[in-house]
């Protein structure tokens, strides 16, 4: 970033990382109503990714390729067992993990650093390549990648069209709550 921007002043960094409100794609004015476009994507994430409705896809992939199935110790939902009753510190660890992993890690890297520069290499398909790259980054959940690709395409499209980092942060943040 320093090599690209020369000076890491807040205003330059904010513009480069799209740390601004969404911008209307044609009028180039602040377009706060774009935040409402996050609602259908959040619903998608809840109903399709988190609900287990398409768990059969994950199970099929795990049956076909058992070596790719995630180990039990890698699943956060396995912390909801009787031996962890009253271990509230785990909630704190999970919240800190969400902050650093989702916000400062995944979203800042994929939607803040990479996506704004991908247009030069991929043209109008920058959002799609970014979405696929983001989904395949989750290699540790390889059987869930097909669902991640669909959700990630929504993230990338919304961010690329509004030239803002915040819609994906909102979606990913709300999605991590369940």
Per residue in 141-156, pLDDT (tens digit) is 787 788 888 888 888 8
Question: What are 37's two structure tokens?
Answer: 């476009």
Q: Which residue has the tokens 């995630």?
A: 70
Name every residue whose Cβ is closer than 8 Å to that of residue 118 and which is 6 or more positions away in sequence: 126, 129, 130
Q: Give 172's pLDDT tier (boundaries 50, 70, 90).
A: confident
pLDDT digits (tens, 9 = 90+) for 82-111: 888 888 888 888 788 877 887 778 888 999
| Model pLDDT, residue 49 | 67
What would the pLDDT profile of 132-141 be if each residue is shown by its tens digit? 999 999 887 7
Contacts for 161 with CB less than 8 Å, ≥ 6 apart: 25, 127
pLDDT at 127 over 80: yes
Q: Which residue from 9, 10, 13 is spatially nearest to 113, judged by alpha carbons?
A: 13
Predicted pLDDT of residue 131? 92
Average pLDDT, the chain: 85
pLDDT in tens, 49-75: 667 677 787 888 888 888 878 777 777
1 touches 19 (CB < 8 A): no
At 177 the pLDDT is 66
Which residues are within 8 A (CB) of 69 and not within 5 positions of it... i.e. 6 or more apart?
62, 143
- Higher-pLDDT residue of 88, 46: 88
Q: What HEC string does the chain produce?
A: CHHHHCCCCHHHHHHHCCCCCCECCCCCCECHHHHHHHHHHHHHHHHHHHCCCCHHHHHHHHHHCHHHCCCHHHCHHHHCCHHHCCCCHHHHHHHHHHHHHHHHHHHHHHHHHHHHHHHHHHHHHHHHHHHHHHHHHCHHHHHHHHHHHHHHHHHHHHHHHHCCCHHHHHHHHHHHCC
Q: What pLDDT was estimated at residue 40?
A: 87
Q: Please say if the pLDDT value at position 76 is more than 80.
A: no
Beta bridge partners of 30: 23
Does this model's pTM top 0.85? My answer is no
pLDDT given for residue 164 in this prediction:
92
Beta bridge mates, 23: 30
């Amino acid at each position: 970033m320093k090599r690209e921007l020369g000076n890491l002043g807040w205003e330059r960094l904010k513009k480069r990382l799209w740390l601004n409100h969404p911008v209307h794609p044609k009028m180039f004015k602040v377009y706060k109503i774009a935040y409402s476009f996050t609602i259908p994507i959040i619903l998608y994430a809840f109903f399709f990714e988190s609900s287990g409705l398409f768990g059969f896809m994950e199970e099929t992939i795990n049956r076909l390729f058992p070596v790719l199935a995630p180990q039990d110790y890698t699943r956060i939902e396995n912390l909801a067992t009787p031996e962890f009753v009253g271990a509230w510190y785990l909630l704190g660890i999970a919240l800190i993990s969400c902050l650093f992993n989702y916000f400062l890690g995944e979203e800042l890297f994929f939607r803040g650093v990479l996506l704004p520069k991908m247009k030069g290499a991929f043209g109008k398909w920058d959002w799609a390549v970014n979405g696929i790259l983001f989904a395949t980054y989750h290699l540790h959940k390889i059987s869930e990648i097909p669902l991640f690709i669909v959700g990630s395409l929504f993230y990338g499209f919304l961010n690329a069209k509004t030239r803002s980092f915040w819609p994906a942060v909102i979606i990913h943040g709300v999605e991590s709550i369940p």
